[in-house]
Structure 1
């Protein structure tokens, strides 16, 4: 039995989302404030494992619905937060979900669903209570409550509560489905049913591990392991001799700790950490006569070298605070996962068959190699523990490209949606669907690229696909010069070249991410079997750039590409827009002669649009200056000389020189045009909520 999926309505940014889960591990990714953490929090809130709902947990679109509510008007309703859980049930656990079966026509291949709804206890009574309090407040010239929303800021717990309903998968897709009399059937014992089939545990992102002595919420590994030992491991019988002879008891306890902690230490070894050069863990007792029974153990690290005790061969050891936070974080997560597993199988009534363990940002303090290994080894952490017929499913939230590069099937991408001046919400994209739909060759290319470059595409506000190393190196500098607002956004820059950028089209469209493609005209002439590079003004020139041919604008002739209008350089996908930026015609003058021409590459466009500057002897370090004969000739000779010069310069060296000297040059117009478009497209991500809500006494908390 396992949790197939869950659906959320009206919770923070999750206005209406459905999330399918993998049988083992599911990874939530997305830009900051996209709803990843909210998807985990609602599971905690509805299962009663963390905190309680507040008025700010309702989606922003719900705020006006509170104030429109009038029990005398049938069309108005108070908002309800719902969480629908859908389970696949095996025969062994069928008896646990009997009360959730919709009818006798249900088949075992069908999912079983339960809804947890945070809804008003009595909408009519709530409205009456609000009017009574408001009336009293008006007579007392009080400022609270000004509206139903304002009233519920302080009275939500008394007016709303959790209720449970069984669902029928045949009606689950109905957009008007609500937990009303004509909707799902209410369960009086829903809480008990839910707890009997699923348990939710969380390893929080805020783990408060410290290198120093414990202070405040920080703790060391010894505290973590002592807590696990106190709850789940066998204890030695009290020994009066141990209290009188601490040294002898320490030796006995060392043997005991080694035995009981050995399974955990072996699980750590399976993760490939510690490695050959990392310290080996051991558990040693540190007896204190006043607190021997509750704090008699301390984690130590074994220091390689000769033993200091010639009698018992004890190695040199150091307390746990002398090792790095990454090592501590790994051990902490492993112990917390095993502890949650033990707590579940030792449930007093009946062990829930489904165990959902959610881990927030496991990459904290972990080096890159271990991040890559960690996700693949999660299941092995519980291998060898007590026999358990149930299912453990992991959900991870992450901002690490090293964790998500392995494959697409486990990734759920949270996309931020919303136009300027509107409330924003999130939609969830299941990349296992993308994996199945895309051609195998393209799939292999994308996976290999993501793996080798560790790109952060899934965490960015927008994507920029650039022609080569020069553009990748110079873009931060170009952005600072012509579009400073973009410096405040998270942009991922992928160096793909014109031959490969179009391979990202389907992925970009699927994610619904705005994308700017900065590429080159790459003009060539001659038969397709033997083309030669040429300047863009050559008669019959075509582009060798497959992005321009196969994606946007879908043309081959240079003349046609140069004639494309601004609005035709963008392609609107189902959820986002992609714009291409390539060299455009510019007017240049040399020795009193003027000509309109487009550069073939970035370097040519840079030289043309900074012609006097690039040919100045003071700027010879940039390697764009041609010889004296070309500079003394006509404009066509200069253009050809620049074309020949650029084909033989070290382009990376050119880019680094631009970065180092940062002279008084102008950014090529086509790049300025593209950056300004991108800045305008993603500006709505920082747009404030509509003005009518700005006057609220207590501004809503960020809905992340």
Structure 2
């Protein structure tokens, strides 16, 4: 039995979003402010065991807050129409106003099989269909009486006149009018429902939230007590467990003995004070008797006020306080302790919850990359080792290392590139790619790439795919020179080699992130059997680049590629950039190196003596070549540098006044646009 999906309506950024939840671990990824935390928060608002968690006006999607103001005006206009005798028009407008009053909904689907114990969810099973093995619970925050809300809202506006602040009034009165309700809804017939008490709904689904912003610090003294307080909570959760309760009993027995000794010491300490009380005739005030100071020591109280976490020093002789421990280690201890405490509390609950979901927000905070990979790799095994019940884990993360370890099936991508949030299921992406030609090979490549490289495209504002080392080393400087706006955005730069950009096509189209592919013309001579590389101006030359041939601009002849219009180089949010002449009818390159040489021939000619690769230039075009000679023989120079591309990039970095090749300049300019 497990939660399979959740649909959220009108909650913050999630106007209408549905997410598939994995049976064990779900990894939620996406750019900042893409709605990941909103998903966690809506579960917390409806299912948190704490009464302190309440909804506020700002939990509504902003457009729906505006609807409340529109509803108030329409409701007032309806009353005026009815007062004027036009009841039909007034009633129609009143109905429209009531329909505008928003509600937040969280619809949860639970799947079960015949082996499961159905007693905990029996109140939510509403159908007799033997083939149906699912239930739905719908939690709703809505106005209990929308008509009264709008009437009072309108009256308050009338009394205040021009000074009325509708936003402040709604914030102040919000919890007077909006309440949360829970219903079981038949999965086969929406009209069949049953109301559930909040306690009944929370007994079906138990949740725990471990947030990223824990109050850890590097306080050098013994002041940081975050872990100590967490151990206190674990002590309370364990006190009712039969097995661990034996240990708790022994702690309580030891404290009882200490209490007796303290009682005797208290008698001696406070005797003078008690004698002073008799001076004021306390014993004459029947039925009062002189007080006695006694020690009542409870285990949880001792942990709360008098217990500290300490770590042994290097020689184990001098203990160090909690605040001396590293943030990453403390974070990991805190997270694991919270997980175990949740499992303990659920196992001791009566009745035990049917389902348990643990939400962990950004567990990578303070953890180095290896610890991040270890955490996501071991979380499922750890939970299974502590309980025989299924605990589903939902993790929000910005860690490319966790993404690389998880695989596609568990990833849910929050796409905020459009005007609303959409949640994309990469398990669906995985299944769809498998169905395409060469899909399995593409999927295998992508999965291996994720394992071997930082897969940060899931968190990027923009993506750039490049072919080689030279482009990677020089790209930051090229961006600074011609597209400085990109420096203020999170741009994921991915080095994909000579022939692999097209392998990313399905994933890039799925992610819907604006992407620039900087690739090479890769001209080859079609008259040769093996199609060896050739000068790009060779008559009849064509490209060997799969991206250019099969994707964008889907042309093979070099002449056709040079004649391609800008619109042919882009499709939706992806654009390709490849070598073009720096000026009309001028020479053009086959690779980044000869394109750079053509664009910067004058600079290279003036600074040739300072280049580490000076000899390669001179062996190709002679000593002291002019700019025109370097430009004309750029292809031959680049061929001689084939095995020295990194050195060439370092030489270029040290040059002053060089410019970005035109094809990259145009591509980066396109990428800066919204």
TM-score (structure 2 length as normaliser): 0.82
> Are 1:124 and 2:147 an aligned pair?
yes
Q: 2:225 aligns with which of 219, 227, 231?
A: 219
- Whether 1:468 and 2:468 are equivalent positions in the alignment is yes
Correspondence 1:156 to 2:156: no
Q: Is the 8 A contact 1:211 1:220 kept in 2?
A: no
Find the aligned partners of 1:193 and 1:433 in 2 and give their Cα distance.
34
Distance 2:151 2:414 in 1: 39
Residue deviations 1:217-247 (CA, integer Å, cap 9, x gap): x53433322432244244221356657999x
Q: Call closer, same or farther: CA 1:476–1:244 in 2, change over 3 Å.
A: farther
Task: Give the superposition deviation at 1:88.
Answer: 0.9
| SS at structure 2 position matched to 1:93 | coil
| Other-structure match for 2:543 | 543
Residue 423 of structure 2, aligned match among 428, 433, 447: 428
- CA distance in 1 between partners of 2:339 and 2:314 (Å): 30
5 Å-filtered alignment, 1:60-139, equals: 60-69=62-71, 70-71=74-75, 72=91, 73=93, 74-75=95-96, 76-91=99-114, 92-105=116-129, 107-109=131-133, 111-138=134-161
Q: CA offsets per residue over residues 326-360 of structure 1, 9 Å max, x none? A: 1111111111111111111222x301021111111
Residue 311 of structure 1: aligned partner: none
Does the Cα contact within 8 Å between 2:15 and 2:420 map onto a contact in 1? yes
Q: After superposition, where does 1:223-372 map in structure 2 within 5 Å? A: 223-233=229-239, 234-235=247-248, 236=251, 237-238=253-254, 295=305, 297-303=307-313, 317-347=319-349, 349-372=350-373
Do 1:524 and 1:543's aligned partners in 2 also have CA atoms closer than 8 Å?
Answer: yes
Q: Which whole-Å CA distance do the structure 1 matches of 2:671 and 2:612 have between them?
A: 29
Query: Whole-Å Cα distance in 1 between the matches of residues 639 and 621 of structure 2?
Result: 18
| Pair 639,47 (structure 1): closer, same or farther in 2 beyond 3 Å | same
Q: Is contact 1:65-1:78 (8 Å) kept?
A: yes
Aligned in 2, Cα 1:629/1:417: closer, same or farther, shift over 3 Å? closer
The 3-state SS of whatever aligns with 2:118 is helix
Does the CA-based 8 Å contact 1:626-1:642 persist in structure 2?
no
Equivalent position of 1:262 in the other structure = none
Aligned to 1:686: none
Residues 468 and 497 in structure 2, CA contact (< 8 A), matched pair in contact too: yes
> Which residue is equivalent to 1:193?
200
1:641 corresponds to 2:633: yes
1:535, 1:640 within 8 Å by CA — same for their partners in 2?
Answer: no
* 1:143-173: CA deviation from partner (whole Å, max 9, x where unpaired): 323xxx56423221112111223323346xx
8 Å contact kept, 1:121–1:160: yes
In structure 2, C-alpha distance between the alignment counterparts of 1:600 and 1:132, rounded to whole Å: 74
Preserved CA contact (<8 Å) 1:300 1:320: yes
For 2:626 and 2:503, the matched residues in 1 are separated by: 42
1:579 and 1:132, CA in 2 relative to 1: closer, same or farther beyond 3 A?
same
Q: Quickly say closer, same or farther: Cα 1:211–1:477, change in 2 above 3 A.
A: same
Q: 1:609 aligns with which of 574, 590, 599?
A: 599
Give 2:399's aligned residue. 400
Aligned-partner SS, 1:377: helix
Name the structure 2 match of 1:269. Answer: none
Q: Distance in 2 between matches of 1:96 and 1:222?
A: 35
Which residue number in structure 2 is paired with residue 280 of structure 1?
A: none
Aligned equivalents of 1:294 and 1:125: distance in 2? Answer: 47
Cα 1:477–1:214 change in 2 (3 A) is same
Shift of 1:27: 0.5
CA shift, 1:325, in A, is 1.4
Q: Could you tell me how far apart the structure 1 residues matched to 2:100 and 2:159 are?
A: 25
Q: Does 1:144 align with 2:160?
A: no
| RMSD of aligned Cα (Å) | 2.9
Instruction: Identify unmatched segments of 5+ residues in structure 2.
Output: 76-90, 240-246, 263-296, 434-438
Q: How does 1:667-678 map onto structure 2 within 5 Å?
A: 667-678=660-671
SS in 2 for 1:380: helix
1:239-271 alpha-carbon deviations (Å, 9 max, x no partner): 56657999xxxxxxxxxxxxxxxxxxxxxxxxx
Asked if the contact 2:589/2:634 (under 8 Å) is kept, the reply is: no
1:643 to 1:301, Cα distance in 2 relative to 1, 3 A: same
* Pairs within 5 Å for 1:174-193: 184-185=191-192, 187-193=194-200
Q: CA deviation at 1:640?
A: 5.3
Task: Report deviation, 1:373.
Answer: 1.3
Distance 2:312 2:126 in 1: 59
* C-alpha distance in 1 between matches for 2:304 and 2:603: 76
List alignment gaps of at least 5 residues for structure 1: 172-182, 247-286, 308-314, 419-423, 589-594, 684-704
My pick for the range that moved more, 59-68 or 647-656, is 59-68
Instruction: Pick closer, same or farther for the CA change 1:220–1:40 going to 2, 3 Å.
Output: closer
Closer/same/farther in 2, CA of residues 296 and 636 from structure 1, 3 Å limit: closer
Match of 2:212 in 1: 205
**What is the CA-CA distance between 1:2 and the residue it aligns to?**
1.0
Q: Which residue of 2 aligns with 1:652?
A: 646
Quote the residue 2:281 is aligned against: none
Aligned-partner Cα distance in 1 for 2:69–2:307: 58
C-alpha separation in 2, matches of 1:582 and 1:59: 43
Q: How big is each residue's C-alpha offset from its partner over 1:553-589, in whole Å with a ceiling of 9 and x where there is no partner? A: 11111111001001110112xxxx110011112238x
Question: Secondary structure at 1:82's aligned position in 2?
Answer: strand
2:672 aligned partner:
679
How far apart, CA to CA, are the structure 2 residues paired with 1:293 and 1:366?
27
Change (3 A) 1:294 1:459: closer
| Among 626, 641, 657, the residue aligned to 1:664 | 657
Does structure 1 retain, via aligned residues, the 8 Å contact 2:183–2:196? no
| Cα distance change on mapping 1:527 and 1:93 into 2, 3 Å | farther
- How much has 1:635 moved relative to structure 2? 9.0
- Which position in structure 2 is the counterpart of 1:584? 580
Query: Match of 1:647, SS?
Result: helix
Change in Cα spacing, 1:292 to 1:586, as seen in structure 2 (3 Å) is: closer
Q: Distance in 1 between matches of 2:61 and 2:655?
A: 47
> Where is the helix percentage greater, Structure 1 or Structure 2?
2
Aligned length: 595
Q: TM-score by structure 1 length?
A: 0.79
Larger-Rg structure: 2
SS in 1 for 2:338: helix
C-alpha displacement at 1:609, in angstroms?
A: 1.7
Q: Check whether the contact 2:221–2:324 (CA below 8 A) recurs between aligned residues.
A: no
Q: Which residue of 2 aligns with 1:177?
A: none
